[in-house]
A and B are shown apart, each in its own frame.
Chain A
């Protein structure tokens, strides 16, 4: 995105001092052509959001004031110049006329011309300096404002409950972050100063034009509604095309994405031709809408220029007539031509700025919405002095919970776990086994009852302290882009290299790490695809070992791990579990049978709990589940 900005910079000049008859492209006469006709996002509460956005400028008040002054001065100077240039030309004309009339010694008064030109030069230089200064200062203000907003968003994200991340797709949050900030930073950089210069230019030019000729000013003012009508009509048309184009483009991109990601399937089932056919059909539609959209926006500038040219012709003709009857001077025609350009320019600019501002406000609104999201339940103030030795007794007392207020998933759950015990959580896929994890770690808040650790309710502890008690090894092996050393070291801030290696050894990861070309300094790439899934899991175990938690939460599912690594993982997990209270999302029969307590879940609910034998005796869901393993899978007796 940012790569395009310099072009936009240049296409949105502050005050354009000189005029010319319209050209077809007209990149310099007003905002980028794309600014008109493209659908604009609307905000819900324009005023409120704007006011809130403005508060971010408060620390930069002085800078912004300077920008305003520079913008106004620079614009005023550039408005004065055509009039002065006109008088210079008039001087030439009168000098030459006198000379041809034969006045002795008459001719162009070069001395006076030179002083006028020097004055003009000075104005040009100052105008340029001022416009540079405003842009320069604005760069700092805009970027630092965005910096501040981004920082706030990040801080906010750290305070949001996990449920927020579960409910909102990551891609959406990311794109909000990327696109909206891109939008805001670009428009703060550009539109604010543009707005000022446009307004000043409009007023200033109007005054200057009136001083030259009220009649010509009136004529030019009459062409204005024409350009409004043209823009309105075309914008209306093009919006439809743009929306259709966007839709078919989205459709096409979606088709490409799903066909490419499913390429193996497309091939295996011989669907290449069907897929190409669908593609061509969407592509054809896209073609139609995109040329129409491009055509319609493409003619906005020529039409505006044409209207400008009508003004140009009128000025030339009426100006010429006014000169012949002596109302104005020749130089005034040139000045007026320039003013005409400057006059219509802020108007076209304002319409595109208003679009930009609207979408900026919409973007800011989305950011503010994020900042206003409900945070985690605040921690209790008394939650200090908890750094005592933890035994690891865990109790669920009358726990009630539901992801939504109206659907309760856990009703009156009571579990009593004492120090060092193992609790197996079992159930079919999608039974909601992670719910218990969510509650233990206080990722979600209970709707009733309480969870106690060593007799203290988890809501009475600081979240950080509570979570440091736990070590978590989940199936989703999250590692970040960094070295293996840093990733294991993530388990505990300030761990030494020796401790990291020790943890890796305990996790049976040391060996494979050393076979990597860079050993512990191997950088894991974004998908961590340079090590295998099983190796990733070993790293997360090492990370948990380093953290030396009091209570463990383990997910045994190791579906895509090879058998040898699996053996390592198992031993490493056993090592880790020794002497610690452990909650295991169990997949192995051996773990389940050896567990001190089995919690059976189905359809998101805890349906049974007890020991292996007790549950078998109950002859309920668990017994069914357990027996099914043997109906097919178990080895016939007498083998081996």
Chain B
């Protein structure tokens, strides 16, 4: 966690000022009982009214200084903590934006989101608390002890006895409670999972008439959670009473022993009253500090998760001196390409060789896990090949800068991803300076004009939550239009037609065929009908290219292809 404190460095003046001011503030609040004891011992017992007034005025000044210090320190610590959060957040986001898909696979997208959003907030809040409370508590305790010893060293022995007892009480109760709180949290998760499953599976549950079973399942989790929660709160119930008891009893001890000292004339009554208040302050700051310390594990866990992200080095980097790509071609060549996912025993694709030329459609077909998507993801260099090479326009893609390489590519991923914003915003994502005509052309090719026209706002319709208000097929068509707007040299369609019905699929492919004449098209598909009229079909099976050729050629030569065809088209369709 301390490593993260480097993000405080730009704000170190704020931190230092904040701490100094807090210290001054706690000194001021410790000084008040001392002044009060003067009122009692000198003013009251000496019947000195002007003195009382004078000290009273002085006390007000001290209180005023105290509040001024703490307001100022609040200003500095707030800025420091918020600044810390800002810098940390900025670094982690920039880092993640440079990650390749591999790092995303390793950490997981949702986990990255949690780390950037929640964990940073968690640590930021911790830093905020730490700067205020954790600094103040020990300072107050130390100040209090100094004042107490200065007032009467012998009475201070009471502190020596009481403090460990208090510490032990807090530790044992909170220790047990915190452990159980973690258990409670995990049981809350179980309960929520049961509920979530109920929500997502409502049709299945109703269809199988298993509502009662679900209620039972829920009740068990509910009861389990309740029992543990009751136990936790029952344990925690002891915390305040025990702490108060220790503090109160030490007050009694002070009065008892103080009375002896006063009786012998070794102590003033006002001093004893002040002493009681010092002990209060010491104990309470101890209480606060120990309670704060239980925030540490949580912040630590968050920090560890953040550090993991910050330490992850993106696997793929641009070459020192990238080759400038020859402009305007789109010639893609796979040369004996083999690729392993990290940690996988078997290569995901192995020894793949083929050439895709501008003006041609190259289709890739094969079963799930055959390596189709992997193959597509290798071209924009989302992953690096393990052996062999991928060449674009005759240049190994590892020699190009990622930016230049991807500028040539229009990708339509398997799962259509759209961003919040209008349809036009999403299309311009393909190319920021696309004109209205270009966008119109793209949507009409992508067979999206009809449904966009049906929307009230047309192209300016807002897609909520990344397109929750349009259907899967519509999202997919927009995603295709986005790639078209880019007018790239290479189109990559990663199983992009599966969400479309046959009719739209057919229309779209017909339009693509006439509209895209000089670019290289690579398309992954499951349906034979989608790939049949491609110039070249690559049949993948378990990562290997078991056939390359046209539909007719493959029907003759490739058993796997025939099997795929047979599974999808009825006899007469093949015939």
Contacts and interface: CB of A to CB of B under 8 A. Distances in A.
Contact of A147 (B192, B213, B222, B269): B222
B182 to A, nearest CB: 8
A82 to B, nearest CB: 10
Interface centre among A165, A270, A570 (most CB of B within 10 A): A270
A256 B419 CA distance: 11
B269 A257 contact: no
Interface string A199-212: 00000000000000
A429 B210 contact: no
Contact of A121 (B55, B104, B249): B249
Nearest to B365: A563
Nearest to A434: B203
B98 A299 contact: no
A443 B90 contact: no
A633 B199 contact: no
Interface string A299-321: 10011011001101110110011
B335 interface: no
B510 interface: yes
Interface string B100-135: 110010000100110011000100100010001100
Interface stretch (B78-86, B324-332, B387-395, B435-443): B78-86
Contact of B230 (A140, A275, A290, A428): A140
Interface centre among A92, A264, A283 (most CB of B within 10 A): A264
Contacts of B419: 258, 262
Given A108-B263, A302-B70, A313-B63, A170 B200 contact: yes
Contacts of A491: 208
Given A143-B233, A334-B273, A478-B204, A324 B195 contact: no
Q: Chain B interface: which size bin?
A: 35 or more
B310 interface: no
Contact of A276 (B94, B526, B569): B94
Interface in A112-145: 113-114, 117, 120-121, 124-125, 127-129, 131-132, 135-136, 138-140, 142-144
A158 B214 contact: yes
Contacts of B575: 635, 637, 639-640
A635 B280 contact: no
A280 interface: yes
Given A316-B59, A567-B567, A429 B192 contact: no
Given A27-B133, A93-B269, A316-B56, A2 B86 contact: no
Contacts of B81: 291, 294
B233 A320 contact: no
Nearest to B81: A294
A125 B248 CA distance: 9
A28 B486 CA distance: 61
Interface centre among B71, B238, B368, B471 (most CB of A within 10 A): B368
A21 B291 contact: no
A514 interface: no
A523 to B, nearest CB: 13
B240 A9 contact: yes
Interface string B30-50: 101101100110011001010
Contacts of B53: 317
B161 to A, nearest CB: 16
B16 interface: no
A474 to B, nearest CB: 7
B291 A633 contact: no
A240 interface: no
B263 A320 contact: no
B501 interface: yes
A270 B191 CA distance: 42
A467 B204 CA distance: 10
A277 to B, nearest CB: 11
Contacts of A121: 249, 252
A614 interface: no
A290 B85 contact: yes
B429 A85 contact: no
Nearest to A118: B252
Interface string A244-275: 00000100111011111111111111111001
B351 interface: no
B420 interface: yes
Interface stretch (B21-29, B151-159, B355-363): B21-29
Nearest to B230: A143
B259 A129 contact: no
Interface stretch (A359-367, A378-386, A496-504, A623-631): A623-631
Interface in B452-501: 466, 471-474, 482, 486, 495, 498-501
A174 B195 contact: yes
Nearest to B36: A316
Given A124-B245, A429-B504, A295 B466 contact: no
Contact of B244 (A13, A253, A254, A480): A13
Interface centre among A28, A85, A174 (most CB of B within 10 A): A28
Contacts of B281: 20, 23
Interface stretch (B1-9, B338-346, B403-411, B515-523): B403-411
Contacts of B112: 260
B354 interface: no
B259 A92 contact: yes
A93 B40 CA distance: 11
Given A13-B240, A632-B533, A113 B259 contact: yes
Contacts of B249: 121, 124
Interface centre among B241, B265, B280, B533 (most CB of A within 10 A): B241
A6 B237 CA distance: 10
Given A313-B63, A562-B368, A21 B29 contact: yes
5 contacts: A85-B255, A178-B192, A269-B406, A291-B78, A316-B56
Given A6-B181, A268-B406, A470-B207, 6 more contacts: A22-B66, A150-B222, A260-B109, A276-B97, A330-B44, A428-B473
